[in-house]
């Protein structure tokens, strides 16, 4: 097992220097020199403006950036506080920028942040992505205050996003989390969270750092762990989420595999809990909700349909051991449908996801093969959703997602019965 | 009288003596064979129960062994198949011991040679089995990866990987058995080298435009063009 980052001499020295802190904000990064300066300034301003009497720390946990990301963190500072502050800062603000160890990924970066939070005995933490362009100092207040003032342990973000963004969230993770665990957390893998020092310590008791949790699985793992272990959960409305375009070379199937794999692993761990849940409840929301303008998102529907069709032609043999014959027949027919008639109904999609979960539970196939073979189906579902939502407004799209959640909830009892 | 003794009685006496010497061996041999058959049957049932208890069929399905048996026309479950193999192995072992008990020099000599060769057969079977499993595994991995990459020839890529690994294992198995050692190796090297060369030429000629576009896109200092066909959807 990997040693804790706080055992490193240089980090130990820095922690001894700081001693103890009240609030810690973590920023995981990898080659984000272009955007991280803005994030660091927003964090620093937020801490100075809303928590002037608290001792605060910013931790940049870096994955070995080659573009000078850590240098940007070290050199970025706010010279003129007058434009944003009402009062002068009293308590100290420190920065730690270190490369994390372990499996390269967001989860490993978070682990380092949790370890430093525990070593500094902080009361509240927040983590924000380093590629954010829409972050403001208010985000820090919104993510930290529910923990510091109201005793919440976990603050999930709530954003306004483009109707086509967050497709893994909208079609799989959100409805599944809501149906299984009964908590209506709209952005369970949003990436920007607030949490108590107690919860950070709890996360560190779990031995998951060699799994998909060390990569993109970290977000759903944090949310589900908080919900399933009865920590107090709320949401904070942060406005719009706008960030740098994702690396076009990023492998979608690897991302899907890590997120869905972590979700299915959590279903194993908390099966006794989710089987008992039969209804869902709203989660309190902090922050003033308002409408925001969003950047347009480019989509290529034909390319999505082509990828689904290719999958339906070539992967039918793999899907045969996962999906019922009726669903398989529908997918084959869909592969021959004209683009304007291309629709994957909610029932088929939910049945597909539940059957993939059961196949993972029964070890029907190598896990990586199983989950990566889901990619064409997910792309097909996304294409269908984009076509359906083409003329829909944001609230109308939310209604569609709510309907999908209803189907997940309706199918849950029969799914739970088959989960033996 | 002497003549009669030498021509008829002595050979009969000799034959009778040999028969008397051979008879216990034959009976022992038959007894061993019967014990082997009974023990084989009992062990088959015992192993079947053990395999079912440890859910061997589920594991076999996962790694593709179930599929392999089905393709080979075997309708049994994997547990039943392996239990049957165990049973037959016991019967076979007892049969060999039974034959040795007969103490017939020619048979003994043949058995010695057979036993010296047997490890090679066993190793070859294991190589073939692993070749089949690895071929299936990596073939499926290549198929899924190429489908996700949007390759039109995904099926061909998957089959190519699967067949190449299986052919490699057949070559290794034949080498282990000492069958056409050099011929098989050279044939494999020629075929494999030929395929790789053909693919290299095909990719080189067919993919030059793709390579040029890729380099232009990634090395050129100009901003990337948006031709309206890009996907900007953030999946998370």
Cβ–Cβ below 8 Å for B155 and A313: yes
Question: From the list B140, B155, B226, which residue is nearest A298 (CB)?
Answer: B226
Query: Quick check: is A296 in a domain?
Result: no
CA distances from A361 to A3, A321, A357, B230 (A): 31, 13, 6, 36
Residue A249: give its domain's CATH number: 3.90.550.10
Cα separation of the two ends of chain B: 110
Q: DSSP assignment of A22-42, as one string? A: SEEEEEEESS-HHHHHHHHHH
- The answer to whether position A160 is within a domain reads yes
Residue A282 and residue A383 in one domain: no
The closest alpha carbon to A129, from A173, A190, A201, A58, belongs to A190
Contacts of A168 in chain B (CB under 8 A): 235-236
- Closest CA–CA distance from residue A197 to any residue of chain B (Å): 26
> Cβ–Cβ of B150/A306 closer than 8 Å?
yes
B232 to chain A, closest Cα gap in Å: 5
Which residues lie below 8 Å from residue A364, measured CB to CB, with a gap of 6+?
A321, A322, A358, A370, B61, B62
Does the distance separating the beta carbons of A243 and B236 come in below 8 Å? no
Counting as low any pLDDT under 70, the low residues of chain A are: 1-3, 79-91, 245-250, 294
Of A189, A300, A318, the CB nearest to B230: A300
Q: CB of B159 within 8 Å of any CB in chain A?
A: no
What pLDDT shows up at residue B225?
A: 41
CA distance B32 to B97: 8
Within-domain flag for A408: no
Which has the closest alpha carbon to A58: A144, A158, A134, A125?
A125
Is A305 inside a domain boundary?
A: yes
From residue A417, alpha-carbon distances to A182, A264, A271, A275, A412 in Å are 18, 16, 12, 9, 9
- Which residues does B189 contact at the CB level (< 8 Å), separation at least 6? none
Q: How many angstroms separate the CA of residue A375 from the nearest CA in chain B?
A: 7
pLDDT in tens, A228-240: 999 999 999 999 8
pLDDT at A266: 95
Instruction: Find the closest chain B residue to A259 by CA distance.
Output: B236
- No. of H helices and E strands in chain A? 18, 10
Question: Domain check: are A115 and A245 in the same one?
Answer: yes
A249 shares a domain with A110: yes
Q: Are residues A178 and A39 both part of a single domain?
A: yes
CA distance B71 to chain A (A): 14
Q: What is the mean pLDDT of residues B18-46?
A: 90
Domain endpoint, select from A286, A318, A342: A286
| Minimum distance, in Å, between the CA of residue A365 and any CA atom of chain B | 5
CA separation for the pair B79, B56 (Å, rounded) = 6
* Token reading at A197: 């020092």
Going by the DSSP 8-state scheme, the letter that residue A291 receives in this structure is -
> Is residue A305 located within the same domain as residue A271?
no
**Which alpha helices (DSSP H) does A270-345 contain, by range?**
271-276, 301-314, 316-319, 325-335
For testing contact with chain B, the best of A162, A219, A310 (most B CBs within 10 A): A310
Both A268 and A320 in one domain: the answer is: no
The radius of gyration of chain A from alpha carbons, rounded to an integer in Å, stands at 22
Residue B58 has pLDDT above 90, yes or no: no
Same domain, A279 and A321: no
The reply to whether A304 touches chain B by the CB within 8 Å rule is yes
- The residues in A 73-132 lying below 8 A from B, measured between CB atoms, are none
- Cα–Cα distance, A319 to A370 (Å, whole number): 8
Domain that holds residue A133: 5-286
Q: What is the DSSP code (8-state) at residue A213? A: G
Q: Among residues B151, B164, B159, which one has the least CA distance to residue B206?
A: B151
pTM score, whole prediction:
0.81
CB contact under 8 A, B236 and A311: no
**Do residues A309 and A231 both lie within one domain?**
no
- Is residue A167 within 8 Å of B233, Cβ to Cβ? yes
Residues A253 and A314 in one domain: no
Select from A314, A315, A358 the residue whose CB has the most chain B CBs within 10 Å, as the one to mutate to test that interface. A314
Chain A: residue whose CA lies nearest to B156: A314
Q: Which of B144, B232, B234 is closest, CB to CB, to A369?
A: B144
- The residues, ordered by sequence, that sit 6+ positions from A210 with a Cβ below 8 Å of its Cβ are A103
Can you list the alpha helix ranges (DSSP code H) found in A229-315?
Answer: 252-269, 271-276, 301-314
Give A 133-162 residues with CB within 8 A of chain B.
161
For residue A238, report the phi and psi dihedrals to the nearest 5 degrees.
-105, -5
CA distance A248 to B232: 9
Spatial separation of the C-alpha atoms in residues A331 and B145, rounded to whole Å: 20
Instruction: Tell me whether residue A395 is in a domain.
Output: no
Can you tell me the mean pLDDT for B179-183? 75
Structure tokens at B116: 């010296």
CB of B206 less than 8 A from some CB of A:
no
CA distance readout (Å), A121 to A48, A199, B226: 20, 12, 48
Does some domain include residue A418? no
Handedness of CA A368, A370, A375, A376 (dihedral sign): positive
Please check whether residues A131 and A255 belong to one and the same domain. yes
Could you tell me if A338 lies within 8 Å of chain B, comparing CB atoms?
no
Shortest CA gap A295–chain B (Å): 10
Task: Give the 3-state secondary structure of residue A286.
Answer: strand
**Contact at 8 Å (CB) between B58 and B79?**
no
Q: Which of B62, B140, B235 has the CB atom closest to A318's CB atom?
A: B140
Does residue A156 lie within any of the structural domains? yes
Expressed in angstroms, the distance from the first to the final Cα of chain A is 32
> How many domains are there within chain A?
2
| A6: helix, strand or coil | helix
Contact A364 B61 (CB under 8 A): yes
Residues A86 and A144 in one domain: yes
pLDDT attached to residue B97 = 87
Burial grade of A34 (CB within 10 A; 0-12, 13-18, 19 or more): middle
B148:A164 CB<8 A: no
- Are A303 and B58 an interchain contact pair (Cβ–Cβ within 8 Å)? no
User: Residue B101's pLDDT is what?
Assistant: 85
Q: Which residue of B has its CA nearest to A307?
A: B150
A residues 238-297 lying closer than 8 A (beta carbon) to B:
243, 245-246, 248, 251-253, 255-256, 259, 297
Q: Looking at the structure, do residues A278 and A183 belong to the same domain, yes or no?
A: yes
Residue B65 · residue B82 · CB < 8 Å: no
- 8-state DSSP, A248: T
B145 vs A372: CB contact, 8 Å cut-off?
Answer: yes
Question: Where in chain B does DSSP place strands (E)?
Answer: none
Q: Does A298 touch chain B (CB under 8 A)?
A: yes
Residue B229 touches partner A, C-beta closer than 8 Å: yes
B131: CB partners within 8 A, 6+ apart: B165, B166, B168, B169, B170, B172, B173
Whether the CB-CB separation of B88 and B156 falls below 8 Å is answered with no
Query: What average pLDDT score do residues B53-78 get?
Result: 76
CA distance A342 to A355: 22
- Residue A148 CA to residue A195 CA, distance in Å, equals 9
- For residues A220 and B156, what is the distance between their CA atoms, to the nearest angstrom? 37
What is residue B228's predicted lDDT score, i.e. its pLDDT?
A: 45
B69-76 CB contacts, 8 Å cutoff, 24+ apart? none
Contact call for A314 and B158, based on CB within 8 A: yes
Closest listed residue to residue A62, CA positions, set A13, A8, A102 = A102
Q: Which residues contact B206 (CB under 8 A, 6 or more apart)?
A: none
Q: Which of A257, A286, A315 is the last residue of a domain?
A: A286
Interchain contact A309–B (C-beta under 8 A): no
Three-state SS for A161-189 is CCCCCCHHHHHHHHHHHHHHHCEECCCCC
Nearest to B230 among A259, A298, A307 (CB): A298
Which of A259, A286, A313 is the last residue in one of the domains?
Answer: A286
Asked whether the beta carbons of residue B141 and residue A369 sit closer than 8 angstroms, the reply is yes
* pLDDT tens figures, B132-149: 888 989 999 999 999 999
What is the C-alpha separation between B96 and B89, in angstroms, rounded?
Answer: 10
- Tell me the Ramachandran region of residue A297: left when phi exceeds 0, alpha when psi lies from -120 to 50, beta otherwise: beta
CA distance B159 to chain A (A): 11
Residue A415 within any structural domain of the chain: no
Which of A310, A373, A375 has its CB closest to that of B152?
A310
């Amino acid at each position: 097992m990997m040693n804790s980052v706080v055992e490193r001499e240089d980090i130990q020295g820095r922690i001894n220097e700081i001693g103890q802190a009240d609030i810690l904000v973590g920023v995981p990064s990898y080659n984000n020199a272009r955007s991280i300066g803005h994030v660091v300034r927003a964090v620093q301003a937020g801490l100075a403006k809303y928590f002037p009497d608290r001792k605060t720390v910013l931790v940049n946990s870096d994955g070995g950036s080659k573009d000078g990301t850590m240098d940007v963190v070290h050199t970025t500072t706010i010279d003129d506080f007058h434009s944003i502050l009402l009062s002068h800062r009293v308590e100290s603000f420190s920065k730690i920028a270190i490369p994390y160890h372990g499996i390269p990924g967001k989860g490993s970066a978070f682990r380092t942040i949790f370890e430093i939070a525990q070593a500094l005995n902080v009361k509240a933490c927040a983590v924000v992505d380093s590629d954010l362009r829409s972050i403001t100092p208010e985000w820090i207040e919104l993510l930290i205050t529910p923990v510091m003032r109201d005793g919440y342990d976990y603050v999930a973000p709530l954003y306004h996003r483009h109707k086509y963004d967050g497709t893994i969230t909208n079609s799989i993770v959100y409805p599944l989390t809501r149906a299984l665990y009964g908590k209506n957390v709209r952005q369970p893998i949003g990436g920007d969270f607030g949490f108590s020092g107690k919860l950070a310590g709890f996360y560190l008791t779990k031995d998951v750092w060699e799994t998909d949790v060390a990569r993109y699985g970290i977000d759903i793992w944090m949310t589900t762990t908080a919900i399933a272990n009865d920590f107090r959960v709320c949401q904070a409305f942060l406005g719009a989420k706008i960030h740098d375009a994702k690396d076009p070379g990023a492998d979608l199937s690897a991302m899907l595999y890590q997120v869905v794999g972590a979700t299915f692993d959590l279903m194993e761990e908390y099966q006794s809990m989710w089987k008992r849940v039969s209804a869902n409840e709203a989660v309190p929301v902090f922050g003033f909700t308002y409408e925001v303008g969003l950047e347009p998102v480019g989509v290529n529907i034909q390319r999505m349909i082509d990828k689904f069709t290719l999958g339906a032609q070539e992967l039918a043999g793999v899907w045969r051991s996962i999906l019922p014959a009726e669903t398989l027949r529908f997918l084959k027919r869909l592969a021959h449908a004209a683009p304007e008639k291309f629709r994957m109904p909610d029932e088929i999609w939910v049945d597909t996801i539940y059957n993939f979960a059961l196949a993972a539970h029964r070890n029907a196939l190598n896990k990586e093969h199983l989950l990566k073979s889901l990619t064409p189906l997910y792309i097909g579902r996304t294409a269908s959703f984009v076509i359906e939502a083409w003329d829909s407004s944001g609230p109308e799209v939310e209604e569609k997602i709510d309907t999908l959640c209803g189907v997940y909830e309706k199918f849950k009892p029969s799914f739970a019965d088959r989960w033996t | 009288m002497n003549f009669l003794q030498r021509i008829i009685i002595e050979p009969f006496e000799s034959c009778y003596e040999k028969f008397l010497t051979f008879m216990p061996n034959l009976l022992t041999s038959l007894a061993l064979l019967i014990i082997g058959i009974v023990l084989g049957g009992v062990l088959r049932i015992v192993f079947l129960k053990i395999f079912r208890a440890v859910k061997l069929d589920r594991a076999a399905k996962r790694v593709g062994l179930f599929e392999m048996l089905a393709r080979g026309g075997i309708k049994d479950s994997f547990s039943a198949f392996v239990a049957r193999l165990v049973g037959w192995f016991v019967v076979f072992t007892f049969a060999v011991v039974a034959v040795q008990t007969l103490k017939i020099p020619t048979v003994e000599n043949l058995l010695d040679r057979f036993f010296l060769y047997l490890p090679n057969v066993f190793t070859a079977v294991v190589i073939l089995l692993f070749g089949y499993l690895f071929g299936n595994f990596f073939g499926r991995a290549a198929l899924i990866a190429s489908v996700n990459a949007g390759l039109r020839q995904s099926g061909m890529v998957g089959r190519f990987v699967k067949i190449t690994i299986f052919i490699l294992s057949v070559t290794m198995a034949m080498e282990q058995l000492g069958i056409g050692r050099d011929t098989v190796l050279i044939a494999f090297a020629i075929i494999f080298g030929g395929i790789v060369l053909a693919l290299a030429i095909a990719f080189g000629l067919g993919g030059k435009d793709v390579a040029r576009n890729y380099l232009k896109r990634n090395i050129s200092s100009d901003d990337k063009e948006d031709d309206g066909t890009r996907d900007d959807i953030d999946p998370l």
